[in-house]
Structure 1
Amino acid sequence: MNETAVTMIGNVATEVSYSETTGGVPMASFRLASTERRYDRAAGGWVEGDTHWVSVTAWRALAVHVIGSLGKGDPVMVSGRLKVREWVDGEVRRCRVEIDARSVGHDLSRGTTTFRRASPGAGEPAGEPAGEVAGSAVGSVGGAVPGWIVDALAVRKAVAAAAKPEAGVSGGGVDGVPGGVSEGVGRGDEQGVLI
């Protein structure tokens, strides 16, 4: 299978959002803004060029680490598989550039950071069924899930259970959450569920 690997340097341009697939696989996403800088001899200094906007998606343990480590405005380096999606909207042809992240980290040329190693067995925890962490289904990330994410997922499930449509009524939602309810977890958001 051919794929295009890329590495981009830029800033996290949006709050990092967290969600799960219907199968319980963690996913984090954010928009990356990468602005070209070059030296202009005529001006005698650095000038900024075009800004490239890219959607970044991280999965599983990387998603959990991203949500616990990054915030809006952070300088980052993202490496992964490039995807370009094109579609026609009426008579307008549209395009979306995405990176399916394999590795994400702070750009240390612009500051410092402190590394904290994930707990051992960040894949499947030994002796526990796949996806069970502190009684919450969060995919295959083991004990690496921060407590506030586990709490946010518990709140989301309680909201979903309370909002389940009665028999014979179509809710139009996904995973028992009625249509029109938006979910997400932002960094530092103790409640964790945006409605």
Structure 2
Amino acid sequence: MLSDEIQAWKNNFFIPTRLECDASPEWFSNYTCNIKPVSRTRKIIIARAEIRKPINKIFVKIQVFKRFSGWQPYLINHLFEACAFLGGKKTSNILYNNFYKIIKPLFDKYTNINHECPYNGTVELYEVDYNKIDIPTAKGTIFPSGYYKAVGKIYEANNSYIGSAVFQGIVKETQT
């Protein structure tokens, strides 16, 4: 049963290697996103944008890829309404609800996008120290060790393109 697997999760860690962002000038100005080295062994993730007009309803399409012989689709290819997601609305989709359990605490701690819509003003992903983020995994499922790429495309309710982000990294097992 999936809930038993969740209880058996151990913490792996994620090492980001690449971050690319794109933002529609119709919706955003002064946007930036990058992985910034702080020292030889420490990097932080920073993203910031100023919203030009209020965003009332956001749809996000998330696709995850794992590198085998090239990038192959892996487990997640999902379109969801981000305002409801960040507002904590539950669904009958087990994968969605478990993804929420992983992502929501990160949004609460590291962003100002941790509430329901509308969004306006400046949105930020604060200095996320990836050394302090554990990724819950279950051996042989969800995110085993390997190279991953997550692609997020963001749209407003009327299908207007808002922006996108491509995030690559490595999941490694915690040494016990």
Measured against the shorter chain, the TM-score band is under 0.3
What TM-score do the two structures reach when normalised by structure 1?
0.24
Name the one with the larger strand percent: 2
Structure with higher Rg: it is: 1
Greater RCO, 1 or 2 (C-alpha within 8 Å, sep 6+): 2
